Amino acid sequence: MNFLAHALLSPDDGEILAGNVCADLIKGRVEGIAPPGIVTGIALHRAIDRFADRQPAFKSCLAYVAAPRRRYARVIVDVFFDHCLARCWTSYSAVGLDSFVEHVCNQVERRAGILPVRDRARFERMLEGRWLGLYATRTGLDQAFAGLARRARFGHQLGEAAADLDRHYPAVEASFHVLMPALREHADRVLASHID
């Protein structure tokens, strides 16, 4: 799952939310260098990713990514699923998408100084560009994939990844709706084990 889904799967705790949303920008062990809530958020993020990657609903979508981009299929499907979440947001949240994005970005910005993020420039771009809300439109998807293409070593084909979603949207959306409730249950279990 990508930024938006991770934010939605976080509890109403600013540190856990910030750690979960920013975990892809944080590498290695963080115990002892970040506050406990941030550490819990990063652990939650990593647990969600491991769980999602093993689910049949996620794995089935990897085949929809065209061969030239297949090495990045997991990342591409993560972005596809955030797009599906943004498009059917009201099915998963009572808070409007724009309000949710602002709330999350404000929570993360408040904790910018305690997040052990290595790539500060990318972190700042994420917040300034409100990447969490970027996935709602096709233009936003194209921007997200263009950014991935710039950062990826062999990413020259990533810029056209949204076309794979266009070709397979009903199947991807159906898989997303199967996976999302399972992710919610898993996130709740992980949090219960970290907080108890």
Q: Which residues contact residue 124 at a Cβ distance below 8 angstroms, ignoring those fewer than 6 apart?
A: none
Confidence label for 107 from pLDDT (cuts 50, 70 and 90)? very high
Exposure on the CB side of residue 60, measured as CA atoms within 13 A: 14
Q: What are 60's two structure tokens? A: 């089935």
pLDDT at res. 156:
65
pLDDT mean over 150-171: 84
| Residue-wise pLDDT tens digits, 9-27 | 999 899 999 999 988 888 8
Q: Would you say the pTM of this structure is higher than 0.85?
A: yes
Q: Which residues contact residue 103 at a Cβ distance below 8 angstroms, ignoring those fewer than 6 apart?
A: 95
pLDDT at res. 155:
62
User: 3-state SS of 141-188?
Assistant: HHHHHHHHHHHCCCCCCHHHCHHHHHHHHHHHHHHHHHHHHHHHHHHH
| Residue-wise pLDDT tens digits, 87-101 | 999 999 999 999 999
The alpha carbon of residue 192 and the mean position of all alpha carbons in its chain are separated, in whole angstroms, by 21
| Residue-wise pLDDT tens digits, 140-149 | 888 888 888 8
To the nearest 10 degrees (0 to 180), the angle between helices 162-195 and 138-151 is: 80
Burial tier of 167 (Cβ tally within 10 Å: 0-12, 13-18, 19+): exposed
| Residue-wise pLDDT tens digits, 161-190 | 899 999 999 999 999 999 999 999 999 999
| Residue-wise pLDDT tens digits, 61-79 | 999 999 888 889 999 999 9
How high is the mean pLDDT of the chain? 89
